[in-house]
Amino acid sequence: MTYVRAFGRFWWDFIVGDDWRVAAGVALALGLTSLLTHKGVNAWWLLPAVVALLLAGAVFRPRKA
Amino acid sequence: MTTSTALIVAGAFLASAVEMVEAVTIVIGVGVVRGWRSALIGAGAATLVLAALVVVLGPALTVVPIKALRLVVGALLLAFGLQWLRKAVLRSGGYVPMHDEAEAFRREQEEAAAAASEERAGLDWYAFTVSFKGVLLEGLEVVFIVISFGSAQGKLGLAAAGAAAAVVVVVLAGVLVRGPLERVPENTLKYAVGLLLTSFGCFWGAEGAGVHWPGDELSLPVLIGFLWLVSFLLVQALRRRPVPLPSGAEA
């Protein structure tokens, strides 16, 4: 079990890193983009805008030392 | 060669160069202190494992429908690339120390000198395992980038060639210098890689979600320019702040 947890932890750190909000924001933005395109809106502008906001939020958000 | 293909090769080359500089620092640091044989065997074994991952996982992903693949790869690249870009912005803004290859080399040598001697399978086990782990862990990021770039665009061979070229260049430089490659502009390269990873993630993620980019592939350089501008403005804003934010991000 320790190895399984360590394996999961490694991939979590590798992909998500120390700010899960960024990964959650990416998932939400992609979901919303998919929803809009299915409704006929070519929402190419949505993801770059959300990525810019996520980056700004991640940069200015205080973190544990 | 199309714009996106050139950017894929450049991205794989730069990402591989950055990670290999760190891996070469570890191998040389250990090799100088503990002897070259075990350190080089460790590095070679890790390189074989990494190459096997590309050979096995790369073609396996071609059976996944391209739209679904781009959605998943885009999401992963965005999450992964934003980590790189955030750290690059924090470094450039003065909130996280720049990565210092000479300091990393010195630390590696100190630890290698202090470690106990243990022989297994005719190898200096410390030199073997540290080299193996160093190359494997640094190389995993390269493998991830090569596979994601290559599979999403159907150019696995080109992405792998870009990464392999960087390995050759960095290893040759390491052999010539026999010390830390501190003159490589590592922090600038990391910034560029962060921008490319995030831009490709955005491009493919949106395509996978059904978006048609205006101008198709020509929107990719525009996207890179937009994200560079955003990151540049964030760096300027950070530099104007009087007190650095506490940050857990490492260089």
Asked if B238's CB is within 8 angstroms of A59's CB, the reply is yes
pLDDT one-digit tens code per residue, B91-112: 888 888 877 777 888 888 888 8
Q: Is B61 exposed, middle or buried (0-12, 13-18, 19+ CB in 10 A)?
A: middle
Name the residue facing A43 among B80, B211, B238 (closest C-beta).
Answer: B211
Name the residue facing B248 among A26, A46, A64 (closest C-beta).
Answer: A64
Please tell me which residue, A40 or B5, carries the higher pLDDT value.
A40
Site from A44, A46, A50 to mutate, B interface, most B CB atoms within 10 angstroms: A44
Asked if A42's CB is within 8 angstroms of B212's CB, the reply is yes
pLDDT one-digit tens code per residue, B186-223: 788 889 999 999 999 999 999 999 999 998 888 999 99
Q: What is the ipTM of this complex?
A: 0.89
The structure's pTM equals: 0.83
Provide the pLDDT for residue B130. 92
* Contact residues, chain B, for A38 at CB < 8 Å: 210
DSSP character for A61?
Answer: S
User: pLDDT at residue B251 above 50?
Assistant: no
* Contact residues, chain B, for A47 at CB < 8 Å: 202, 205-206, 209, 211
- Give the A:B interface size as CB pairs under 8 Å: 106
